[in-house]
Structure 1
């Protein structure tokens, strides 16, 4: 099974998407509306974030034409499986208050449940009905991507997974590209941690590169993602910061700077999708 086996329309993502993890409904509405006015065109939420209502409100209140906005939400683990997937999708659609979802993702593979294939089949049916434009996954290792594609006859358009300096996921990024799957990184700032004693944004390499460019370590992280040609999902509830994030993906780092950042000590700040945990 190869990417050419499908007749899907090309799907494109911006270099940066506005994330809403840990924002409540009121904050999501305010931030999404403001971020869209400031130039963001992709908004990321999930059923398990409990803020789809606020995200939808922000989309409507932004004043940006709906056709210019890509709204992303995700199927949580507890809603995977035959029939339940469709119910969960319609619940998200009602929460958002929109007539369609642009991109619908399976949030985690959760191997213990082994329901992501039947869930994706239902998602394909939702796409046929015109309720969702494109389908994807989140946190899927390559083996699960291949198993899914072998079962349903197509690869997802996107795989969203943890990626930041210190967790570059080069093999996963390249493997996605070889399969025609768009890689997109969440947690590009490392969620503030590196190890028990330091935060990622305090890493001396990032601080030195930031000083050389007269910017911040956070902006360097986002520029590094752009230099790796990987779209990222970044969240901020502060207008000045989300504007800085939007500008950062336009900053150019040298190959030498990218190589130095690649060597930052490795760590994972999120859960391991191969470990049998609840999500």
Structure 2
């Protein structure tokens, strides 16, 4: 079985570059599909409090027979829990649901600029890392300005920024800023949404050239440009197909062609909320 390559954080820890996401997966289903993901070869699982499936992920971990050092688990703090003390409490509740004593990575889920609690929240994550409860800390859905403020006010650089990222919305400027600070970029919604990207003629053509599925091609593109990527599927065959993306090698012309699909310059491509203005509990 091909093992996922790992990338190194700015804190010296490592993360499997290919992971498995469980957004919009019900708790009882999460147990089954995470176990299937482990069987397929995935060792990196990404969940969050708001997904409502940390307990299911925890049951899959407990039943997998895998040692803690063999897996990498991420969860995220929800917006309503931002703030120093509330973050510490929410973390303990997530850990109880996951059945873990130590977490590989904890993220602030959204910037929430109007709420303006993310700096105090970040200080709580720093404290959890100092206590040895979390190995690596990072953020999700943060802008350049939000990242810079965390760095300026605490001196601690996030290990990762998990953001919406796919060929139609490649976030090149945000990725470049992260790279300049030693922050890895992780892609959510890596295959786009609604099937449009996977039916794109460019994607389909290159996939056919490699005798691969369009999804495998897009995942391979993420890996090639240095993203951590967490595709989600609840279909066992597709879970295995997604993992097999590791065996696909793209050439420079493939990558250039997929890069050319970006719609950001036209003010389009984004699927989810804009972190710079989104404010929801």
- The TM-score normalised by the length of structure 1 is 0.92
**RMSD over aligned Cα atoms:** 1.5
Structure 1 counterpart of 2:209: 212
Q: Distance in 1 between matches of 2:151 and 2:125?
A: 14
Match of 2:221 among 224, 228, 236: 224
Match of 1:154 among 139, 153, 156: 156
Query: What whole-Å deviation, never above 9, does each CA across 1:109-135 have from its counterpart, x for those lacking one?
Result: 010001010011111111122211110
Q: Distance in 2 between matches of 1:55 and 1:220?
A: 27
Shift of 1:265: 5.0
Match of 2:122 among 120, 123, 127: 120
Q: Distance in 2 between matches of 1:66 and 1:9?
A: 19
Instruction: Map 1:37-116 to 2 at 5 A.
Output: 37-116=39-118
Q: In the alignment, is residue 234 of structure 1 matched against residue 231 of structure 2?
A: yes
Q: Distance in 2 between matches of 1:17 and 1:102?
A: 13
Unpaired segments of 5 or more residues in structure 1?
Answer: 1-7, 194-198
Structure 1 counterpart of 2:251: 254
Q: Distance in 1 between matches of 2:61 and 2:274?
A: 32
- The TM-score normalised by the length of structure 2 is 0.92
Q: Distance in 2 between matches of 1:126 and 1:261?
A: 39
Shift of 1:191: 2.1
Structure 1 counterpart of 2:200: 203
Q: Distance in 2 between matches of 1:9 and 1:257?
A: 33
C-alpha change, 1:139 and 1:250, in structure 2 (3 Å) is farther
Structure 2 counterpart of 1:188: 190
Q: Any runs of at least 4 consecutive aligned residues in structure 1 with deviations exceeding 4 A, and if so which? A: none
Shift of 1:152: 1.0
Q: Distance in 1 between matches of 2:22 and 2:96?
A: 18
The alignment of Structure 1 onto Structure 2 pairs a total of residues equal to 268
Q: Which moved more, 1:260-269 or 1:128-137?
A: 260-269
Alpha carbons 1:20, 1:44 under 8 Å: kept: yes
Partner-residue secondary structure (3-state), 2:105: strand
Alpha carbons 2:170, 2:262 under 8 Å: kept: no
Structure 1 counterpart of 2:136: 134
Q: Distance in 2 between matches of 1:65 and 1:156?
A: 26
Unpaired segments of 5 or more residues in structure 2?
Answer: 1-9, 264-268
Shift of 1:88: 0.7
